[in-house]
Amino acid sequence: MLDANRLRIATRKSALALWQAEHVKTLLEQFHPHLSVELVPLSTRGDQILDTPLAKIGGKALFVKELEEAMLDGRADLAVHSMKDVPMQFPEGLGLSVILESGAPTDAFVSNDHASLDALPEGARVGTSSLRRGLQVSARRPDLEVLPLRGNVQTRLGKLDAGDFEAIILATTGLQRLQLADRITAELTPEESLPACGQGALGIECRHDDADLITLLAPLDHIPTATRVRAERALNTRLDGGCQVPIGGYAVLENDGDTLWLRGLVGHPDGSVVLRAESRGSASEPESLGIRVAEDLLAQGAGEILAEVYGGADSE
């Protein structure tokens, strides 16, 4: 932190990224009225390459590299990330300092003509580039045609409205944050679409050695969300999951926050195999619960499915 009264948030320029950065700015200025927080909008390589499947261009790290460089060379103090997009490893000197209270963790079914996934006509086209979403759609409705859909939230809705698809699947919270909740036709239950690890939650990345900044960020930390996300990320890490993977992980707190219930899923991208595991454990040890559920999935053959997806250039 160069200046005790001024903080700079590195952010991508998409509407969702800007909303998230503004949200953190508002919270920080509420907790610390003397602070002035500004946004530093940056273009990332990921934003510039829109037509190639993410798995082929090196995954979601492409969306954070420029932000991380800005923090490392002192052009910015912090960056706000959707926890489901944050890689497990951080560059030397950077780390996750806090996890904010989660929005809705679910996926949303969005269609202009059809009320639900089950109500789609045979052969209908469903847009999503998420292997996790696609495989769950295909497993439930093998007759549907799951097609790639990339771009920011508005671009994806535009392609639906243009008639490219009968329905698309998006994150509920992304639509809510952009004041587009009225586009949600039906919120998918975790049984219909198990969310991604960390979905709905925001995290803040900054330099490890920036002790003053870490003190300022502390009031934004939300322990129940952090607990949930730690279990989900431990599951993902034990499965050796990168970002673009056919893995779901979703934990909820029970018993006044004493117990965590974690459900995990790994599937073949075409939906022909779906492995599920779940377990409950102490909320004081989220990582061991995540590892346990991951090992249950591995015992069922998750490793073979994931090796095929990572190794197979023709998986997308």
Q: With binding defined as CB under 6 A, does residue 84 bind ligand PBG?
A: yes
Distance CA 9, CA 12 (A): 10
Under the binding rule (CB under 6 A), the answer on residue 264 touching ligand PBG is no
- Which member of 21, 39, 80, 82 binds ligand PBG (CB under 6 A)? 82
The closest alpha carbon to 177, from 32, 62, 24, 299, belongs to 24
**Contact of 217 with 78, CB cutoff 8 Å:** yes
Q: Give which of 139, 132, 82 is closest to 244, Cα–Cα.
A: 132
CB of residue 200 vs ligand PBG: minimum separation in angstroms? Answer: 5
| 85 counts as catalytic | yes
| 8 or 177: CB nearest ligand PBG | 177
Does residue 128 touch ligand PBG according to CB under 6 A? no
The smaller minimum CB distance to ligand PBG, of residues 174 and 249, is found at 174
Q: Is residue 126 at the binding interface for ligand PBG, with CB under 6 A as the rule?
A: no
DSSP state of 3: B
- Does 171 bind ligand PBG (CB under 6 A)? Our answer is yes
Please select the residue that binds ligand PBG; options are 85, 240, 295, 316, rule is CB under 6 A: 85
By the rule CB under 6 A, 200 interacts with ligand PBG: yes
Q: Which of 85, 164, 221, 240 is catalytic?
A: 85
User: How many other CB atoms are found less than 10 A from the CB of residue 85?
Assistant: 17
On the CB side of 134, CA atoms within 13 Å amount to 19
Cα→Cα distances 307→257, 302, 310, Å: 36, 9, 5
| Binding residues for ligand PBG, total number by CB under 6 A | 10
If binding is defined by CB under 6 A, does position 7 make contact with ligand PBG?
no
How far apart CA 236 and CA 247 sit, in angstroms, is 7
Rounded least distance, CB 22 to ligand PBG, Å = 14
Nearest CA-CA partner of 15 in 109, 153, 150: 153
Pick one of 1, 124, 126, 170: the residue that binds ligand PBG (CB under 6 A): 170
Paired tokens of 128: 């999503």
- Name the site residues for ligand PBG (rule: CB under 6 A): 82, 84-85, 153, 170-171, 173-174, 199-200
**Which residues are identified as catalytic?**
85
